[in-house]
Amino acid sequence: MFLVTPDRTYGLVAAPRAPEDLTPGTEEALTAQDFTWNSEIEAYTRPTGHGPEGVDRTASTLRGLGHFVLLSYTPAPVGRPQHPGRAGPRPLPPDRGDRP
């Protein structure tokens, strides 16, 4: 599984969920699209071509190689946490006793 998304710092990012997703064919296909491995974020990045067409093309390539792909066309906001106000898991609501 891969996440394909634009990023304000890295350009277009293709991030594998697990090391097993980095098959030789996948690495070759991403390298052929001018991606390079960024060990800092453990993902392939490309500084150009991060518009919707680039996202679609990369996702299509990865799907063609048998991967599931999650994608986003919009980079995350800069300077804000991904989940504002969420310091951890929310507590379960109290048991009201009226549920089966």
**Do residues 10 and 45 make contact, with C-beta atoms less than 8 angstroms apart?**
yes
Confidence at 78, pLDDT banded by 50, 70, 90: low
Among 24-28, 54-58, 70-74, 80-84, name the one with the lowest average pLDDT. Answer: 80-84
Helices 24-32 and 52-64: crossing angle, nearest 10°? 150
Residue 94 gets the label, from left (phi > 0), alpha (psi -120 to 50) or beta, of: beta
**Phi and psi of 41, rounded to 5°?**
-110, 5
Confidence at 77, pLDDT banded by 50, 70, 90: confident
Confidence at 49, pLDDT banded by 50, 70, 90: confident
68 pLDDT above the threshold of 60 = yes
**Three-class secondary structure of residue 26 per DSSP:** helix
Q: Taking the model in full, what pTM does it have?
A: 0.74
More confident residue, 64 or 87: 64
Q: DSSP letters of 41-63?
A: TTEEEESS--SHHHHHHHHHHHH
Q: How far is CA 50 from CA 33, 47, 63, 91, in A?
A: 12, 7, 18, 38
Max avg pLDDT among 20-29, 44-53, 77-86, 87-96 = 20-29
